[in-house]
Amino acid sequence: MSEVIKKIRCPLQNKKVVVRVIISDDAFFESINKDHIALGGYPSAKKTFCAPINSITNNIINPLTADEQEWFESSECNLGFKPGDLSSLKKKDNFWSSTTNEIVLTKEGKTYDLSSPEQYLKYVILRANKEYIAPSWEQRYDRGTYMFALCDGDEDVKSKIKKTDLLKDAWREYGKIDESVNKLYDFLCVYYIKSKKKDITKPKRNMSLDELRIEVSDIIDKDISNFLSIIKSNDYHTVVLIAKSILLGEIIPIEKGLRYHIKSVDYKGTMPEIVSYLKDIKLQSEKLRLENVIDEQEKKL
């Protein structure tokens, strides 16, 4: 009689799962400050999870399905487990006991590579914690007990949400300058000076409104964080003055652009120091001089 050889299906998958902390809508820390350090847990606070106990039998629930257990205990898995080693009913040396196997999470979350057998065994513990871990980001509010959610690693929810917020913010700021040739040009001058990218071309004063709009919207598409940090800077108007002065050679970048030199007054400093210098109420003559030079130069064009 021929023996039937059962093929054990490998449960490993070529994907990643990200465990993300759930910030409850009623988080009372948020009412103090939306960036409060305790929102979602203190950074150093640890949350540990283990294979849960069955509320009826008082036994540890095996987080693996029968098929998964069979594969992990087979020679194909290569983790050295023998049949029965991963049983959750073992009285001694139980692999699933919290004294030997638990998951430690912080608010930073964690990523599990499901193609790795070791990481898959960690992931299944979280999967089995149906009281505390939501099976997906969309289901995170389905139970009040959920602390974390299992998210598809390919769909980085956090970065998606962040990007949407940034885009919303960026286009709002863009709306404040997109009707003005001067305002668009001012921004491009600052971006040109502040960006260290070599493929950025120097803005020209004779660019049309549409050309300027295309340039700035390209920057929003490709470098949104720098667009926002420049346009939302409290010192934006002073930085515009500095950028235009640099383009006219009135202020010269030194030390690989880490510091700047105002030629006429022989003052050297980093960008924040130059900004402070030009904002100093006692030194307004230099600021007025630079503004005059820029006005004169732009009238000629």
| Residues binding other proteins: number (CB under 8 A) | 62
Whether 244 and 189 have beta carbons less than 8 Å apart is answered as yes
Residue 149 engages other proteins in binding (rule: CB under 8 A)? no
48 binds other proteins (CB under 8 A): yes
Q: Helices in 110-202 by DSSP H: which ranges?
A: 117-128, 157-177, 181-194
**Please, are residues 226 and 194 in contact by the beta-carbon 8 Å criterion?**
yes
Task: Give the H/E segment covering residue 128.
Answer: helix 117-128
- For other proteins, give the closer residue by CB, 23 or 207: 23
Residue 164 as a binder of other proteins (CB under 8 A): the answer is no
The bridge status of strand 148-152 relative to strand 16-21 is antiparallel
Query: Which of 127, 130, 183, 289 is close enough to bind other proteins by CB under 8 A?
Result: 130
Q: How far is the CB of 27 from other proteins (least distance, A)?
A: 7
Strands 148-152 and 133-134 turn out to be parallel
Answer positive or negative: Cα dihedral of 207, 213, 216, 217. negative
Q: Does 117 bind other proteins (CB under 8 A)?
A: no
Which of 6, 7, 9, 34 binds other proteins (CB under 8 A)? It is: 34
**Contacting range for other proteins; rule: CB under 8 A; set: 36-44, 173-181, 204-212, 280-288:** 36-44
Part of the chain binding other proteins (CB under 8 A), chosen from 35-43, 76-84, 160-168, 171-179? 35-43
**Structural tokens at position 196:** 């260290």
The residue among 102 and 291 lying less far from other proteins, judged by its C-beta, is 102
By CB under 8 A, tell whether 159 contacts other proteins.
Answer: no
Residue 171 Cβ vs other proteins, minimum distance, rounded to whole Å:
18
Exposure letters 239-262 (e unless 16+ CB within 10 A, then b): bbbbbbbbbeebbeeeeeeeebeb
CB 30 within 8 A of CB 37: no
- Of the candidates 91, 102, 99, 100, which has an alpha carbon nearest to the alpha carbon of residue 51? 102
Q: Which is nearer to other proteins, 61 or 293 (CB)?
A: 61
Is the CB of 49 or the CB of 81 nearer to other proteins? 49
Contact call for residue 119 and other proteins (CB under 8 A): no
Give the one residue of 2, 14, 44, 206 binding other proteins; rule: CB under 8 A. Answer: 44
- Does residue 19 bind other proteins (CB under 8 A)? no
82 lies in the binding site for other proteins (CB under 8 A): no
Near other proteins by CB under 8 A: residue from 13, 53, 116, 136? 53
> 3-class SS at 133?
strand
Beta partners for residue 60, in sequence order: 53
How many CA atoms are closer than 13 Å to the CA of 14, on its beta-carbon side? 0
Residue 260 bridge partners (DSSP): 253, 269
Compare residues 93 and 266 and give the one whose CB is closer to other proteins.
Answer: 93
Binding residues for other proteins (CB under 8 A): 25-34, 36-42, 44-58, 60-61, 94, 96-99, 102, 128-132, 147, 194, 196, 198, 225-226, 228-230, 255-259, 270-272
